[in-house]
A = this chain, B = another copy of it.
Amino acid sequence: MKTLNVDLGPRSYSIFIGQGLLGHAELFDAGLAGNQVMVVSNETVAPLYLQSLRQTLGDRDVRVLILPDGEQFKTLDEVAKILDALVGARFARDCTLVALGGGVVGDMAGFAAACYQRGVAHIQVPTTLLSQVDSSVGGKTGVNHPQGKNMIGAFHQPACVIADTDTLDSLPDREFRAGLGEVIKYGLLWDEDFFAWLEDRMPELLARDHNCLTRLIYRSCEIKAEMVSADETEDGIRALLNLGHTFGHAIEAGLGFGTWLHGEAVAAGLCLAADLSARLGRIDRSDVERVERLVASASLPIRAPGELSAERMLELMAVDKKIKDGRLRVVLLGAIGKADLDSDFDRRALEETLQECRDAA
């Protein structure tokens, strides 16, 4: 087992990564605030891991809430159901929510924990590659609004994150690859060596080699933790983590949440961000091709979907949260392994990227 400490002063917490962690009671003991535990999971994950988790939680007062599976259910209404269950169980302020599932379950359970009695403890038990490398780190919780992704939420740090790599064995191939989209993002924005390592190890990773996966999750979390620690509420450096996301969110919202997986949309978004960076003269065309090659080697999309016109994409991007003083800000590349934020770029270049980097309609 590897342990990573996320340093956030009084809100610091640990991420535990390794095989068989669902059975390690002592990891849970340290994070539970009291005897009352509400496990939030979904229809897909619960049949696989709920029993094992309940056993580990022992004879505590454990309640379970099973949500429908899918990004389209990441809504305020579903969070209201979690809150109803907590009030219905008469859970007190020293209760703990345990999120067992992917990013959607984690975001919703975390947001419910942030709002219930103005904030109770929660433990994240991410069971997808995407949530292990991304959404369980950083304290972002929340839900989608019909008109925009993650528009409603809170910053609320977990008591700990328990990433059991065994749970990845049951992950459908498409979801596994989607997770690699976020992983590629970390290399691309922060660490060229890690990017090169991914180019080198893609075959082993796709075969889900456990040693490679542990290294991949650890390094991804480490990069994210480093950036989050420097900037807990996203005013500066943390915004770089949105590389590819302004494009990606527009794709997800435009197609309807759940049509493309988040990691797929981000993967295409990385390629669009690279293309835009090249058009602005910040990187070479060969760098763009290198990004596209790695994304394609994970069988992830390198273009926006044909059904979304450039105009529609622009419209969708205008609702995104990365807007300041009415100006659209996009994370751009200065090199492979080096991202920065810009709101002062040539809008025509953006329109060209949106026009050129999409599949045939």
Contacts and interface: CB of A to CB of B under 8 A. Distances in A.
A208 interface: no
A325 interface: yes
A140 B119 CA distance: 11
A35 interface: yes
B321 A147 contact: no
Nearest to A151: B87
Contact of A324 (B94, B152, B321): B94
Contacts of A84: 145
B325 A147 contact: no
A323 B92 contact: yes
Given A35-B325, A87-B145, A154 B114 contact: yes
Interface size range on A against B:
35 or more
Nearest to A235: B93
B145 A319 contact: no
A119 B76 contact: no
A153 interface: yes
Nearest to A115: B152
A92 B321 contact: yes
Interface string A26-38: 0000000011000
Nearest to A90: B319
A17 to B, nearest CB: 26
A206 interface: no
A105 to B, nearest CB: 18
Interface string A115-159: 111110000000000000000000010100101101111110000
A324 B36 CA distance: 11
Nearest to A233: B119
Given A76-B76, A80-B76, A88-B147, A325 B94 contact: yes
A318 interface: yes
A38 to B, nearest CB: 14
Contacts of A92: 321, 323-326
Contacts of A83: 76, 145, 151-152
Contact of A325 (B34, B318, B319, B324): B34
A311 to B, nearest CB: 16
13 contacts: A83-B152, A84-B145, A87-B151, A92-B321, A92-B326, A93-B323, A94-B324, A115-B142, A115-B152, A116-B151, A116-B152, A118-B234, A119-B154
Given A87-B148, A117-B151, A118-B153, 11 more contacts: A76-B80, A83-B152, A90-B319, A92-B324, A92-B326, A93-B324, A116-B152, A118-B150, A118-B234, A119-B154, A119-B155
Interface of A: 34-35, 76, 80, 83-84, 87-88, 90, 92-94, 114-119, 140, 142, 145, 147-148, 150-155, 233-234, 318-319, 321, 323-326
Q: Which 5 A-B pairs have the closest CB atoms?
A: A92-B323, A118-B153, A87-B147, A87-B145, A117-B321
